[in-house]
């Protein structure tokens, strides 16, 4: 047949995908096979390489890498303890010394400081039951081969037994101890299948969004692995990207399939015409929502923290690929009579959807009748859930939060028992020495640090070969993640070390892993407000362009901020305060510093999905009737079922990651599931209709002078009349 001339891009894309449906499907199959094959030949390489330009910890690390390369790698501990006797007993000492000698000969081991040496004389507990050796690798943990670290672990633990316990701690050891994530995606996928079956009442209609999402996710995750060779990408990026990609991939295809079924029922069974109409309406919403998610997540790059670059680009890439799959593979599959024809005819025969639409219309009437109660009550719930977020402590979780069976947790407990919790988070005090009196200056710094309240012990390490740099290891009295340790780091930098530097003619920097996490938390806290302002303003501008309204973007910005605040409040209650934490086998602790920024970007983008899908349908109805109340009623009746189904799928997908065992991913899972639940079931179906009814026609008010200045970017689309065509399978 001859398609009518049309200048709009998405109808053209829909027609291309229908005409060349076999080619489109084969292209996606070929692309998936190709990227999986390339990925198998070139496995992904992930690295948690955190650099904080301008921070003291980074400056200290840079000095060490030049002057003392052996001190610039990851520092770990080999901890050993005896139940009877003491670690200084000759037989025990001989076993330990032999083991430390073997470890010192292993690849990537720079230095080993024995507790029996002069330098390590402070590494034996007062009761003589616990001791530790300091192990320095020649590189940071994320750059070390896991096989090399595992060899160190195996060699050290081989000396255990017969009353001697040997455990290892440190960041490099923790990377090796981390277990592969459980396949929690399967739980979310199973839940999605059940929800889609209940929503559509058809296996074919259920299968199409799932197949489309899996194709997009498979290609996206495979490309992510290839990206890891070009850009440092955190090891939790595949899980995070997979979680979001699976959720949005199913949702985007679901929106298009649902609109296709409605169009098919309303246009008398014009199969291909219904596809074009669904792409010209729901497809536009998917395109806008997907690009908003991508832009919001990519906005993290503007923070200037290299650790986020790989995560942001990887996650946005997976979202982009799943969106493209929804916009190309979905119409292509619908073009086959075996899929699209059955789905469309099933909608015509099935009246449950009409009854459910009437139910949502009645719900809209209830909200409108009690609009003030709904608006005030809904806002109060969000504010109440947001309050705990103001008590959030941002800090990296130490090994005290690891599982009780992990060697890092056992080493942590032994050190805390024998020496105090602060020995699990030593600080590196890097001293640039004067030309004359180097030993005297270093001794003065040593004495000054030992007099500082909160420091349990200070160990002086050998001066660098060029005699320009000295290092002291300071052990706090408090644990690495405690508020007292954070306060100690800030006090050392602000008050103690500047005075010591002036007295000794040296330059003193406080570095090491624990101070670096303090720096990271400070950087994120300082940049978060500006990041929020930029993302909110850009999103508001986009919504203003699309909906020609002042109220819609303002309302969306406020509601989205409240949903993000509520999600962070729930994360704080669960992971920091311990509400229900025991159900998931996690230890309460501070919140990872990068979590609020990343959750804000992701949630703000995802919130636009439902905002755009519902509001675009309401505006579509309003342009027809010019009756704001009827538009809200009809818009909610048409979208309520699919939005709540899509949200339930996403909540299940995100919630399933609570069972993965990785605490960072669990935090994301709880936060994102909470945000989507509140966004769909509180904001979009209670607050949104209540506020839009209160505003009435003012919802769509835009000053005439501003309307003339802004380009016309509509997404509600319009029905595209097409001639009927004989459909070939």
Q: Identify the burial level of 533 via C-beta atoms within 10 angstroms of its C-beta, where 0-12 means exposed, 13-18 middle and 19 or more buried.
A: exposed
CATH architecture of 48-69+427-511: 2-Layer Sandwich (3.30)
At residue 5, the pLDDT reads 38
Let me know if the fold of 74-177 is the same as that of 352-397+524-715.
no
Q: Give, in order, the Cα–Cα distances in Å from 622 to each of 253, 366, 616.
A: 25, 20, 10
Cross-strand pairs, 474: 427, 458
* DSSP letter assigned to residue 181: P
Three-class SS of 277-329 = HHHHHHHHHHHHHHHHHHHHHHHHHHHCCHHHHHHHHHHHHHHHHHHHHHHHH
Is 567:672 a contact under the CB 8 Å cutoff?
yes
Among residues 487, 596, 600, which one has the least CA distance to residue 534?
A: 600
User: Among candidates 396, 341, 411, which has minimal Cα distance to 134?
Assistant: 411
Please give the Cα distance from 6 to 14 (Å, whole number).
12
- Asked if residue 306 lies in contact with residue 51, where contact means CB atoms within 8 angstroms, the answer is yes
Distance CA 714, CA 543 (A): 10
Q: Cα separation of 601 and 616, whole Å? A: 22
Beta strands in 548-679 (DSSP E): none
What pLDDT is recorded for position 147? Answer: 86
Whole-angstrom distance, CA of residue 667 vs CA of residue 592? 9
Residue 495, both tokens: 């008050």
Contact partners, residue 400, CB within 8 Å, separation at least 6 = 409, 412, 413, 416, 421, 424, 479, 481, 587, 589
The tens digit of pLDDT for each residue in 52-69 reads 888 899 899 889 888 887
Cβ atoms of 553 and 540 closer than 8 Å: yes
Distance CA 355, CA 199 (A): 13
User: What is the sign, positive or negative, of the torsion defined by CA atoms of 249, 252, 258, 260?
Assistant: negative
CATH of 352-397+524-715, one of 1.20.1640.10, 1.10.10.60, 3.40.309.10, 3.40.50.300: 1.20.1640.10
Bridge partners of 124, per DSSP, are 131
The rounded distance, in Å, linking the Cα atoms of 729 and 723 is 18
Query: What pLDDT score was predicted for residue 342?
Result: 85
- CA–CA gap between residue 177 and residue 405 (Å, rounded): 10
Q: Does the predicted TM-score (pTM) go above 0.75?
A: yes
Name residue, tokens 């800090």: 395
- Are 149 and 172 in contact, with CB atoms under 8 Å apart? yes
In angstroms, the CA 199 to CA 433 distance is: 71
Measured CA to CA, the distance from residue 59 to residue 509 in angstroms comes to 8
Sites in the chain below the pLDDT cut of 50? 1-8, 348-349, 352, 719-729
Both tokens of residue 534? 């930029």
Q: Which fold has domain 74-177?
A: Alpha-Beta Plaits (3.30.70)
Q: Is 222 within 8 Å of 249 (Cβ atoms)? A: no
Instruction: List pLDDT tens digits, range 150-164.
Output: 999 999 999 998 889
Which of left, alpha, beta for 44 (phi over 0: left; psi -120 to 50: alpha)? beta
Q: Domain extents for the chain?
A: 1-43+181-350, 48-69+427-511, 74-177, 352-397+524-715
Task: Please state, in angstroms and rounded to a whole number, the distance separating the CA atoms of residues 226 and 240.
Answer: 16
Strand partners, 167: 79
- Rounded distance, CA 638 to CA 685, Å? 12
Strands across the sheet containing 469-476? 455-460, 469-476, 427-432, 507-511
- The CATH code of the domain at 1-43+181-350 is 1.20.1640.10
Contact 322, 609 (CB under 8 A): no
List the structure tokens of 238: 């595949």
H-helix or E-strand containing 507? Answer: strand 507-511
Q: For residue 452, give the 3-state DSSP assignment.
A: coil
Would you say the C-alpha torsion 143, 148, 152, 154 has a positive or negative sign? positive
Q: In whole angstroms, what is the distance from residue 206 CA to residue 45 CA?
A: 35
Are 231 and 191 within 8 A, CB to CB?
A: no
Q: 134: part of which helix (H) or strand (E)?
A: strand 130-137
> Buried b / exposed e across 235-248, counting CB within 10 Å, b at 16+?
bbbbbbbbbbbbbb
């Amino acid at each position: 047949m001859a398609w009518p001339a049309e200048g709009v891009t998405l109808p053209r894309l829909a027609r291309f995908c229908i005409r060349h449906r076999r080619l489109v499907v084969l292209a996606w199959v070929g692309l998936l096979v190709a990227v999986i094959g390339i990925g198998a030949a070139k496995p992904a390489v992930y690295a948690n390489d955190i650099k904080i330009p301008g921070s003291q910890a980074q400056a200290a690390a840079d000095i060490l890498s030049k002057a003392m390369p052996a001190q610039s790698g990851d520092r770990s501990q080999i901890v050993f303890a005896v139940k009877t006797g003491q670690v200084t007993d000759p037989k025990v000492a001989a076993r330990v010394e032999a083991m430390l000698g073997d470890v010192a000969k292993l690849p990537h081991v720079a230095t080993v400081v024995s507790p029996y040496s002069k330098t390590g004389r402070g590494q034996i507990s007062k009761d003589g039951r616990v001791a530790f050796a300091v192990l320095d690798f020649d590189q940071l943990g994320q750059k070390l081969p896991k096989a090399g670290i595992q060899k160190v672990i195996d060699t050290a633990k081989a000396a255990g037994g017969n009353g001697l316990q040997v455990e290892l701690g440190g960041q490099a050891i923790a990377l090796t101890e981390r277990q592969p994530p459980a396949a929690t995606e399967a739980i979310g996928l199973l839940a999605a299948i059940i929800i889609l079956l209940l929503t559509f009442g058809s296996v074919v209609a259920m299968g199409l969004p799932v197949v489309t999402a899996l194709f997009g996710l498979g290609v996206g995750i495979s490309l992510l692995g290839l990206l890891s060779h070009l850009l440092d990408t955190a090891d939790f990026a595949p899980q995070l990207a997979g979680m979001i990609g699976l959720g949005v991939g199913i949702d985007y295809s679901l929106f298009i399939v649902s609109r296709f079924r409605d169009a098919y029922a309303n246009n008398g069974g014009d199969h291909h015409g219904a596809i074009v109409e669904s792409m010209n309406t729901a497809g536009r919403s998917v395109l806008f929502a997907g690009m908003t998610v991508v832009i919001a997540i990519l906005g993290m790059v503007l923070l200037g923290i290299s650790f986020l670059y790989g995560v942001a680009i990887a996650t946005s890439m997976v979202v982009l690929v799943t969106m493209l799959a929804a916009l190309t593979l979905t119409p292509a599959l619908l073009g086959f009579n075996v899929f699209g024809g059955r789905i469309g005819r099933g909608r015509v025969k099935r009246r449950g959807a009409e009854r459910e639409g009437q139910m949502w219309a009645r719900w809209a009437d209830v909200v409108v009748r009690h609009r003030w109660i709904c608006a005030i009550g809904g806002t109060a719930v969000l504010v109440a859930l947001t309050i705990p977020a103001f008590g959030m402590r941002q800090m990296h979780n130490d090994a005290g939060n690891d599982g009780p069976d992990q060697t890092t947790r056992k080493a942590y407990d032994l050190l805390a028992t024998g020496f105090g919790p602060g020995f699990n988070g030593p600080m590196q005090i890097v001293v640039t020495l004067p030309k004359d009196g180097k030993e005297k200056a270093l001794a003065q710094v040593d004495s000054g640090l030992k007099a500082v309240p909160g420091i349990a012990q200070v160990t002086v390490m050998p001066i660098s070969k060029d005699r320009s740099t000295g290092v002291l290891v300071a052990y706090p009295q408090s644990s690495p993640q405690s508020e007292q340790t954070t306060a100690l780091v800030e006090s050392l930098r602000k008050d103690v070390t500047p005075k010591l530097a002036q007295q000794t003619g040296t330059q003193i920097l406080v570095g090491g892993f624990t101070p670096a996490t303090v720096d990271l938390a400070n950087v994120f806290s300082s940049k978060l407000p500006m990041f929020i302002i930029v993302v909110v303003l850009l999103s508001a501008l986009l919504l203003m362009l699309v909906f020609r309204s002042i109220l819609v973007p303002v309302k969306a910005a406020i509601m989205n901020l409240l949903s993000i605040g509520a999600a962070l409040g729930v994360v704080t209650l669960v992971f920091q305060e311990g509400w229900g934490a025991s159900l998931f086998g996690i230890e309460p602790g501070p919140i990872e510093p990068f979590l609020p920024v990343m959750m804000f970007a992701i949630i703000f983008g995802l919130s636009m999905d439902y905002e755009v899908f519902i509001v675009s349908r309401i505006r579509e109805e309003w342009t027809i009737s010019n009756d704001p109340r009827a538009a809200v009623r009809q818009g909610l009746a048409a979208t309520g079922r699919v939005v709540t189904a899509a949200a339930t799928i996403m909540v299940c997908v995100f919630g399933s990651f609570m069972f993965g065992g990785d605490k960072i991913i669990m935090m994301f899972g709880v936060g994102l599931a909470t945000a989507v639940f509140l966004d769909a079931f509180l904001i979009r179906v209670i607050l949104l209709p209540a506020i839009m009814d209160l505003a009435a026609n003012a919802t769509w008010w835009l000053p005439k002078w501003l309307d003339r200045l802004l380009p016309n970017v509509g997404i509600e689309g319009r029905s595209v009349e097409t001639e009927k065509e004989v459909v070939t399978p």
